């Protein structure tokens, strides 16, 4: 299996989008300390890993190769990383001087790399491996003193309620119906799972907002939930727009 592992030197801190997200947000003391820690940490490991790894052609293979959902879902049957050793990954990062690891919990393909009870489309319920790889990594990070950050894609090529469609995902074969508010409820439910199942999370790295820049993503509500559950958790958003001056 070919895994793409990228070094990440920068995790974008909370950025205002569409005016300003969490306009009344006042960072907790532990959040301010986390920002200082991250500014000094500087060096971390960013891991893209999912059922797309079985093809060895990048995390965008579903879009780039125009693979429809019924065919793409079959990749889960081949995801069985029996040699996965999260302690080796964490120790490799630590020995290189890294301070944190960020891993994809759900990329644009919609497949959850943790045991989600919100959706059966996840690594425990749909693959022969049947183990919670993010849960295992979280435990390894705690054992060896690295902080765990989580990547979560707001864009979803698999979920039927991600509608109207954005700039991508037009080859997935979904019906032209859906309820975006219901999709955001699903998104927040998955984030709640992540923030309550795996101990302290250093930060959430969002991606995919750019697919529907015109949409109200309810960022105030989502960000407030994150900070309610874990006040120290940082938030980054790979939104592809210029930050405010």
Residue with tokens 């859906």: 178
DSSP, collapsed to helix, strand or coil, labels residue 221 as: helix
Total residues found in the chain within this entry: 245
> C-alpha 13: how far from its chain's center?
15
From the list 35, 228, 1, the residue with the least C-alpha distance to 128 is: 1
pLDDT digits (tens, 9 = 90+) for 53-103: 999 999 999 999 999 999 999 999 999 999 999 999 999 999 999 999 999
What is the C-alpha R_g of the chain? Answer: 17
Question: Does 162 score more than 60 pLDDT?
Answer: yes
pLDDT of residue 243: 67
pLDDT digits (tens, 9 = 90+) for 88-144: 999 999 999 999 999 999 999 999 999 999 999 999 999 999 999 999 999 999 999
What is the C-alpha to C-alpha distance for residues 66 and 170, in angstroms, rounded to an integer? 8
- Domains of the chain in sequence order: 4-238 (3.20.20.80)
What is the C-alpha to C-alpha distance for residues 238 and 210, in angstroms, rounded to an integer? 8
């Amino acid at each position: 299996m070919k895994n793409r592992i990228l070094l990440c030197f920068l995790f974008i801190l909370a950025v205002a989008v569409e005016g300003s997200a969490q306009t009344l947000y006042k960072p907790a003391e532990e959040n301010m300390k986390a920002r200082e820690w991250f500014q000094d940490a500087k060096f971390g490991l960013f891991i893209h890993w999912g059922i797309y790894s079985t093809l060895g052609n990048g995390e965008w293979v579903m879009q780039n190769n125009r693979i429809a959902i019924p065919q793409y879902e079959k990749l889960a049957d081949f995801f069985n990383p029996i040699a996965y050793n999260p302690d080796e990954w964490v120790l490799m990062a630590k020995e290189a001087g890294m301070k944190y690891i960020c891993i994809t919990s759900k990329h644009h393909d919609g497949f959850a790399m943790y045991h989600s009870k919100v959706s059966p489309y996840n690594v425990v319920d749909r693959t022969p491996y049947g183990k919670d790889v993010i849960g295992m990594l979280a435990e390894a990070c705690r054992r060896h003193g690295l902080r765990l950050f989580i990547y979560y894609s707001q864009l979803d090529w698999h979920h039927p309620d991600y509608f109207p469609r954005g700039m991508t995902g037009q080859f997935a074969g979904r019906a032209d119906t859906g309820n975006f508010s219901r999709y955001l409820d699903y998104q927040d439910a998955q984030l709640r799972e992540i923030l309550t199942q795996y101990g302290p999370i250093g930060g959430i790295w969002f991606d995919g907002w750019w697919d529907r820049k015109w949409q109200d993503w309810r960022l105030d509500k989502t960000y407030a939930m994150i900070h309610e559950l874990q006040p120290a958790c940082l938030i980054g958003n790979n939104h592809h727009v210029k930050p405010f001056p």
